A = this chain, B = another copy of it.
């Protein structure tokens, strides 16, 4: 039995949610470049997500963003998704694009605006009741740009109150997943800037509140896998938003900037019980394909996660533990690196073939004609964008 064969079965547990917004146009504050074939409707976004799932077998769920993906008939949308071979997943709220939220939503000093932000989340929960989604993911753009502009302490207290109201409305099997972010779009302070704050807030809520770790939302130099370890240890790691970065929240393809970091993260996920049949950590992408093609960008991303999961599973744990406890620094490091450097790509191709999937999903997509079709079909209308 090869090393890969010992882990092949475990790979069957890997599922990665794809975000509907990844298929729309995105960019920087300087320019959003358009691209042919961009979806004009949420249905077209779901179709694109399904195209990713067909060639990878990894992405059975699509996350939605409200209000971007708001529809009259949620049940019809769920049926549409099912017809495409995917399900509706996590619901993401949005309190950063309404003019009322210029100075905050759930943290706003004006009770009426705060109430509006809360109501938006209750609407999201209504939608979740229809879609059967488990997770309400909350990322807050709230913060301030200038020292003195706002009262950080009062905002934190208001946030706690607002989250409590939302939490109370959760259904039995629903979770509130609170995401943190180091900075942007606020440039002086952010109301949930770090995992400590997210943890503090969810601990005050209860068992159904957990933390979302977006891999791009940390200060330079932060040891992200340490945070993964800690949140798993505390039973509070709810989900990942995968992407990668060189500088700020660059939202590049996961694993493209620092593949070894992704490996280390997956090692801690596995070490801490965050992966496997009984684990309840949701893996999601949250990326922007500003200049590359979006569907192949998503395929590349989930393959990167799959490849690093495979490498992480290959770590020889008994040998590693032995070296660690012997104080053998170089020996332990070498065992660790051996898994990272093992080229599992050919084995994964076989693994896919065994499961009726294309050996090379990137090529399979390129040859499928799907891209040409959407570029031809999707003429007119307004391409979806942030």
Nearest Cβ on chain B to A255's Cβ, whole angstroms: 9
Q: Is A260 an interface residue when CB atoms closer than 8 A count as contact?
A: yes
Q: Is A149 an interface residue when CB atoms closer than 8 A count as contact?
A: yes
A–B complex contacts, Cβ < 8 Å, 23 sampled: A30-B97, A31-B97, A33-B99, A102-B327, A145-B252, A146-B252, A146-B333, A151-B271, A152-B226, A153-B229, A153-B232, A153-B271, A156-B230, A156-B233, A185-B290, A187-B245, A188-B252, A190-B223, A196-B196, A219-B219, A219-B221, A291-B329, A300-B330
Contact with B along A351-376 (1 / 0, CB 8 A): 00000000000100000000000000
User: A246–B187 contact, CB under 8 A?
Assistant: yes
Q: Is A293 an interface residue when CB atoms closer than 8 A count as contact?
A: yes
Q: Which 4 A-B pairs have the closest CB atoms?
A: A148-B336, A196-B196, A219-B219, A343-B343
Nearest Cβ on chain B to A147's Cβ, whole angstroms: 6
User: B103–A327 contact, CB under 8 A?
Assistant: yes
Of chain B, the residue at the smallest CB distance from A296 is: B330
Q: Is A378 an interface residue when CB atoms closer than 8 A count as contact?
A: no
CA distance A33 to B246 in the complex (A): 28
Chain B residues contacting A349 (CB-CB under 8 Å) are none
Instruction: Give the copy number.
Output: 4
User: A194–B196 contact, CB under 8 A?
Assistant: yes
Q: Is A345 an interface residue when CB atoms closer than 8 A count as contact?
A: yes
CB interface residues, A 142-194, toward B, < 8 Å:
145-153, 156-157, 182-185, 187-190, 193-194
Q: Is A222 an interface residue when CB atoms closer than 8 A count as contact?
A: yes
User: A334–B362 contact, CB under 8 A?
Assistant: yes
Number of interface residues of A (CB under 8 A): 100
Identify which of B182, B234, B325 contacts A109 (C-beta below 8 A).
B325
User: A329–B146 contact, CB under 8 A?
Assistant: yes
Contact with B along A195-232 (1 / 0, CB 8 A): 11101100000000000000000111111011101101
Identify which of B148, B189, B253 contacts A223 (C-beta below 8 A).
B189
Of chain B, the residue at the smallest CB distance from A219 is: B219
CA distance A187 to B219 in the complex (A): 16
Nearest Cβ on chain B to A52's Cβ, whole angstroms: 14
Contact with B along A254-296 (1 / 0, CB 8 A): 0011111100100010011000000000000000001111001
User: A291–B219 contact, CB under 8 A?
Assistant: no
Chain B residues contacting A27 (CB-CB under 8 Å) are 29, 185
Q: Is A320 an interface residue when CB atoms closer than 8 A count as contact?
A: yes
Max chain B C-beta neighbours (<10 A), residue from A219, A325, A343: A219
CB interface residues, A 335-355, toward B, < 8 Å:
335-337, 340-343, 345
Instruction: Give me 4 other A-B pairs in contact (C-beta within 8 A), A30-B97, A199-B200, A342-B343 excluded.
Output: A149-B332, A153-B233, A221-B247, A259-B337
User: A290–B196 contact, CB under 8 A?
Assistant: no
Nearest Cβ on chain B to A113's Cβ, whole angstroms: 10
Chain B residues contacting A190 (CB-CB under 8 Å) are 223
Q: Is A248 an interface residue when CB atoms closer than 8 A count as contact?
A: yes
Q: Is A79 an interface residue when CB atoms closer than 8 A count as contact?
A: no
Of chain B, the residue at the smallest CB distance from A288 is: B29
Q: Is A383 an interface residue when CB atoms closer than 8 A count as contact?
A: no
CA distance A264 to B151 in the complex (A): 12
Chain B residues contacting A199 (CB-CB under 8 Å) are 196, 200
CA distance A153 to B185 in the complex (A): 33
